[in-house]
Structure 1
Amino acid sequence: MTMSEGDLAVTELAFVRREQIAPLPPPAMTTGPLAWVRDNLLSSILNVILTVVMTALAVWVIYEILDFLIFTAVWSGADREACLASPAQPVVGACWPFVKERAAYFVYGSYPIPERWRVDIFFAMLATGIVWLLWLNAPRRDIGAFYFFVIVPIVSYILLTGWPLIGLEAVDTALWGGVLVTIVVAWAGIVVSLPVGIVLALGRRSRMTTVRTLSVIFIEFVRGVPLITVLFMASVMLPLFVPDQWSPDKLLRALVGIALFASAYMAEVVRAGLAAIPKGQFEGAQAVGLGYWQMMRFIVLPQALKITIPNIVNTYIGLFKDTTLVFIVGIFDLLKTVEVSRIDPKWATPVTSTTGYAVAAIFYFVFCYGMSCYARATEARLARSERR
């Protein structure tokens, strides 16, 4: 049988692709950095003007900061003469020899030099506990929580205050200062505020009138006054109402005041999270036979705390920065050590104060920005788990 000319033409024109064509890349201006710049910074005339102005302002501010901290800074010297303007260096930036000489005072305050190894151990224990809790793949995080909330406070108290029975010389808290005090005050407030805040938030939502009334009174009273008032009440007024032998240590009074103040604010943060949970979650937990505390532990509180992660971290950041207020009641935190050091005649120069405050600013920025970054990473991880 012979093939006709028509069949032959059809056979020659027939074509079946056996390999898939590779997808073409998207247009260069619809994805990637260029598209982001166009859509967010150059989308209109007003945006272009604002982008140019803000870029110029940022470049100027960053250059001035780097110029003071690095380019025109003084890096060596024995006294104030090294940080004074001279014909050889008419513009003088940060006085880093001053920071180098006072670094130990910024960290330890007046803590006895032979005993400062105890502070170093405290810092190491605290850092270990934080990493253990925040590292998601860390082994036995339940033990890590017990270590952080029980072992570290007990051992740290013995280390820092001393215990003559085991050979540790007693160190009065009046000698504590600098970063040590800042970390202790912030750590105490952060550790205490969340559990106490949860209890207060649950108390405010309780059906028991007495519990609800007491919780509301405490929260509203503490939130209705500034922190400095709480500190003055704890440090100045409290000793007037108790005998001298019952009056607690000045630092302890500040710790209690800050912890209670932070707990009141944390209670409102947690209460907002509880209010955002749908009523069906409560009803579903009750329908499967869960008791009140089981329902809160396994169903409600995990969801409420997840919702309020940004607000919780924001409260922690504010608390960390508010620790500077303790210097007003005579406690030598980092800012107070800077204040004392900058008036030392040996280093009295026009740039000494600015250098000291720059060191404090860098310290607070690093810690607060670190907390913010971890919070964003946690939110992103939880968002990914919800999409799966």
Structure 2
Amino acid sequence: MSSVLYDAQGPRAKRRNVVLTVIFLVATAALLWWVYKALKDKGQLEWALWEPFFSGTEAWSTYIWPGLQNTLKAAALAVIIALPLGAVLGIARLSDHAWVRVPAAVVVEFFRSIPVLVLMIFGLALFAQYTNVSSDDRPLYAVVTGLVLYNASVLAEIVRAGILSLPQGQGEAAKAIGLRKGQLMRLILLPQAVTAMLPAIVSQLVVIVKDTALGGAVLTYSELLSSANTMSGYYGANVIASFTVVAVIFIALNFALTSFASWLERRLRRAKKSTGAVVGANDAQIAGTAGTGGGGTV
């Protein structure tokens, strides 16, 4: 039996797939055993190195929670600024006026081509030379600046692609009933494009959360990952334990973000499917009577 995408496997193909699956599982088990043995030989699995995270709250209240707060603060500020800025730049790139479209394209292509770490470093130098921002706040300002400039440019391309993915008939129908370009964008195109853009936007939000770690690695911003370095030195070089806990926190944080986005996307799709009004038989008969002046039904 075959389908549109592939032909059904024969006996030889099934046997080959079973053999390859067994080989893959054996290789995976061997790799996990090698990692476990290497960690055990180095003493990284000793309970004394993992105990601070499971007994007492000192490690969490002193290192992890403050670092997580700073990570969420930088990510939240970057998201709040980058989302509307990216939407404005994406819409500007679709403008009919060259004096709007061309500068927006230059800004997007320029900042999208520069690594976010370089933008953070330039931001730190900018705030140090030309502003009165204190040295304690400069890392936060620099991290948020770099994240906003880079991710707003990426989000602008996501918005532009989401709008262009809609059928052209949507815009033509709106223009036929007399809507202006701004009304067309605000009332017709953007609401429909949000659902299509949502997965890509959430992926970029996850990138923002993870890229805050660059500020800790280079700009001495005390976010979650940098707190793991300090924590591992304080608790006897438990590097594996500290970074494992931090990695689990990042995974849980990003998983919660993507799960919320998936739920929101499903809700938006259901809402679009349920917006049509149902006309009953009596309503149709009344409408027919009003339209023809008689008692006929539609």
Give the structure-2-normalised TM-score: 0.74
Are the counterparts in 2 of residues 181 and 334 from structure 1 also a CA contact under 8 Å? yes
Aligned to 2:213: 324
Task: Report the identity percentage.
Answer: 26
Amino acid corresponding to residue 44 of structure 1 in structure 2: K
Which range moved further: 352-361 or 288-297?
Answer: 288-297
Q: Alignment partner for residue 49 of structure 2, among 95, 113, 128?
A: 95
Within the alignment, does 1:49 sit opposite 2:5 as a pair?
Answer: no
- Provide the rounded CA distance (Å) in 2 between the counterparts of 1:386 and 1:66: 50
Within the alignment, does 1:265 sit opposite 2:154 as a pair?
Answer: yes
Are the counterparts in 2 of residues 201 and 267 from structure 1 also a CA contact under 8 Å? yes
Within the alignment, does 1:285 sit opposite 2:174 as a pair?
Answer: yes
Q: Alignment partner for residue 144 of structure 2, among 244, 255, 262?
A: 255
- Provide the rounded CA distance (Å) in 2 between the counterparts of 1:222 and 1:94: 46
Aligned to 1:184: 73
Amino acid corresponding to residue 47 of structure 1 in structure 2: N
Residues 68 and 361 of structure 1, relative CA distance in 2, 3 Å threshold = farther
Cα distance per residue 1:54-102 (max 9 Å; x no partner): 4445666778999999xx9xxxxxxxxxxx96xxxx9625723333432
Where in structure 2 are the equivalents of 1:7-46 lying within 5 Å? Answer: 44-46=14-16
Whichever of the two has the greater Rg, that structure is 1
Are the counterparts in 1 of residues 143 and 212 from structure 2 also a CA contact under 8 Å? no
Aligned to 1:334: 224
Where in structure 2 are the equivalents of 1:300-315 lying within 5 Å? Answer: 300-315=189-204
Aligned to 1:209: 98
Structure 1 residue 195 displacement after superposition: 1.5
Cα distance per residue 1:138-191 (max 9 Å; x no partner): xxxxxxxxxxxxxxxxxxxxxxxxxxxxxxxxxxxxxxxx01110011111222
Within the alignment, does 1:225 sit opposite 2:179 as a pair?
Answer: no
Q: Secondary structure at the match of 1:95?
A: helix
Are the counterparts in 2 of residues 105 and 337 from structure 1 also a CA contact under 8 Å? no
- Provide the rounded CA distance (Å) in 1 between the counterparts of 2:206 and 2:179: 36
Q: Secondary structure at the match of 2:95?
A: coil
Amino acid corresponding to residue 62 of structure 2 in structure 1: Y
Amino acid corresponding to residue 229 of structure 2 in structure 1: E
Q: Which has the higher contact order (CA 8 A, sep 6+)?
A: 2
Are the counterparts in 1 of residues 195 and 269 from structure 2 also a CA contact under 8 Å? no
- Provide the rounded CA distance (Å) in 2 between the counterparts of 1:214 and 1:187: 27
Are the counterparts in 2 of residues 335 and 360 from structure 1 also a CA contact under 8 Å? yes
Residues 305 and 49 of structure 1, relative CA distance in 2, 3 Å threshold = farther
- Provide the rounded CA distance (Å) in 2 between the counterparts of 1:182 and 1:258: 12
Q: Secondary structure at the match of 1:343?
A: helix
Q: Secondary structure at the match of 1:308?
A: helix
Aligned-residue Cα RMSD (Å) equals: 3.4
Are the counterparts in 2 of residues 67 and 93 from structure 1 also a CA contact under 8 Å? no
- Provide the rounded CA distance (Å) in 1 between the counterparts of 2:261 and 2:37: 32
Which range moved further: 58-67 or 269-278?
Answer: 58-67
Structure 1 residue 355 displacement after superposition: 0.6
Within the alignment, does 1:362 sit opposite 2:245 as a pair?
Answer: no
Cα distance per residue 1:325-345 (max 9 Å; x no partner): 11111110011111112122x
Amino acid corresponding to residue 282 of structure 1 in structure 2: G
Aligned to 1:200: 89
Structure 1 residue 353 displacement after superposition: 0.5
- Provide the rounded CA distance (Å) in 2 between the counterparts of 1:253 and 1:300: 35
Ranges in structure 2 where 5+ consecutive residues have no aligned partner: 1-7, 275-298
Ranges in structure 1 where 5+ consecutive residues have no aligned partner: 1-37, 73-83, 110-177
Within the alignment, does 1:348 sit opposite 2:241 as a pair?
Answer: no
Cα distance per residue 1:32-57 (max 9 Å; x no partner): xxxxxx99xx9723432343344445
Aligned length: 259
- Provide the rounded CA distance (Å) in 1 between the counterparts of 2:89 and 2:127: 23
Structure 1 residue 205 displacement after superposition: 1.1
- Provide the rounded CA distance (Å) in 1 between the counterparts of 2:133 and 2:82: 28
Residues 299 and 59 of structure 1, relative CA distance in 2, 3 Å threshold = farther
Greater share of helix: 2
Are the counterparts in 2 of residues 273 and 304 from structure 1 also a CA contact under 8 Å? yes
